[in-house]
């Protein structure tokens, strides 16, 4: 067992993350609805930062011929994902990887690359390189689904008001679920204490920069599908 942030969090992730992140279920469902294939299509998905496999589970259930390859830094997250998706083991491959190192060179091509709440952990130069590698690994016309926190300019009062709302809503979600708010505080403390050189540290970049980097990587279309406060969903096409 390694003692990284997400490895420590892995066992509680499925219980706490949908309570911590207001729109967690919503954006996974939205992304699933946007998967551009018919139920019987054969296609390949690359998931970057699969966590406990929540998006993959939805894809594998809905599309019986989809095949998925996943990377994540945390071995414990990968273990949870592979246990949860044991019924789909003939269609899934899991690999431990620090995405600061980019993608392995020997990968085959994919129809869809998805990455939710992960790329913001990378240094900006590594985000830029990863976007280029994602472009390269996609088949022509392929799709890249990116959901991640990104910063935008807010009026200070608007920002403060939204933060206040977030705290109130967090509290009420935990109460409604009969969960202990101290669990959320424990995770937040772990996040705030993570060392500056950790590969899992939050390194949130501006929304407009992401758009520039995706353009520079070569994507021919970049659509902003949804956002709430700092969470953004962008679909790019090769
Ligand atoms: C907030 S979780 C999101 C997991 C999943 N995508 C989801 O939507 O539930 C962030 C994930 O990114 C992984 N991660 C963090 N830093 C990483 C890195 N440098 N390379 C690869 N994965 C990383 C963590 O282990 C964790 O599984």
- Closest residue by CA, ligand 1 atom 13: 49
Domains along the sequence of the chain with CATH = 5-154+181-237 (3.40.50.150)
- What is the DSSP secondary structure assignment for residue 196, as one 8-state letter? T
Residue 51 CA to ligand 1 centre (angstroms): 5
The rounded distance, in Å, linking the Cα atoms of 9 and 3 is 10
Contact 79, 51 (CB under 8 A): no
Residue 49 CA to ligand 1 centre (angstroms): 4
C-alpha dihedral sign at 206, 207, 212, 215: positive
pLDDT of residue 67: 98
Residue 54 near ligand 1, beta carbon < 6 Å: yes
- Closest residue by CA, ligand 1 atom 23: 73
Q: What confidence category does residue 3 fall into, taking pLDDT thresholds of 50, 70 and 90? A: low
Residue 136 has pLDDT above 90, yes or no: yes
| Both tokens assigned to 224 | 């902003």
Residue 47 near ligand 1, beta carbon < 6 Å: no
Q: Identify the residue whose tokens are 């088949």.
A: 139
Of 198, 237, 202, the residue nearest 2 (C-alpha): 198
pLDDT digits (tens, 9 = 90+) for 34-89: 999 999 999 999 999 999 999 999 999 999 999 999 999 999 999 999 999 999 99
The chain-wide mean pLDDT, for the chain, equals 95
Residue 157 CA to ligand 1 centre (angstroms): 31
Mutating to test ligand 1, I would choose from 55, 118, 231 the residue with most ligand atoms within 8 A of its C-beta, which is 118
28 Cα nearest atom in ligand 1: 8
Residue 148 has pLDDT above 60, yes or no: yes
Contact 108, 44 (CB under 8 A): yes
Q: What confidence category does residue 5 fall into, taking pLDDT thresholds of 50, 70 and 90? A: confident
Over range 85-100, report the average pLDDT: 97
Residues 6+ apart with CB under 8 A from 32: 55, 58, 59, 62
- Closest residue by CA, ligand 1 atom 10: 118
* Orientation of helix 24-34 relative to helix 5-20, angle to 10°: 90
Q: What confidence category does residue 7 fall into, taking pLDDT thresholds of 50, 70 and 90? A: confident
Residue 131 near ligand 1, beta carbon < 6 Å: no
pLDDT digits (tens, 9 = 90+) for 194-211: 999 999 999 999 999 999
Q: What confidence category does residue 2 fall into, taking pLDDT thresholds of 50, 70 and 90? A: very low
Contact 188, 158 (CB under 8 A): no
């Amino acid at each position: 067992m390694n003692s990284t942030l997400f490895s420590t969090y892995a066992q509680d992730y499925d219980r706490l993350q949908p309570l911590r992140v207001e729109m967690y279920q919503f954006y996974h469902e939205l992304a699933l609805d946007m998967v551009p294939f018919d139920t019987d299509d054969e296609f390949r998905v690359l998931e970057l930062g699969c966590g406990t496999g929540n998006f993959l589970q939805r894809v594998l259930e809905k599309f019986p011929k989809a095949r998925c390859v996943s990377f994540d830094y945390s071995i414990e997250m990968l273990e949870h994902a592979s246990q949860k998706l044991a019924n789909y083991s003939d269609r899934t491959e899991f690999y431990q990887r620090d995405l600061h190192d980019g993608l392995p060179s020997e990968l085959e091509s994919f129809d869809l690359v998805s990455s939710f709440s992960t790329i913001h952990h990378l240094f900006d130069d590594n985000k830029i390189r990863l976007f280029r590698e994602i472009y390269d690994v996609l088949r022509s016309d392929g799709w890249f689904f990116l959901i991640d926190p990104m910063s935008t300019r807010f009026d200070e009062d608007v920002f403060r008001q939204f933060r206040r709302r977030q705290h109130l809503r967090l509290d009420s979600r935990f109460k409604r679920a009969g969960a202990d708010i101290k669990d959320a505080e424990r995770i937040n403390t772990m996040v705030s204490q993570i060392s500056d050189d950790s590969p899992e540290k939050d390194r949130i970049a501006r929304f407009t920069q992401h758009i520039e980097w995706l353009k520079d990587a070569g994507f021919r279309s970049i659509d902003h599908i949804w956002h709430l406060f700092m969470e953004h969903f962008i679909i790019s096409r090769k």
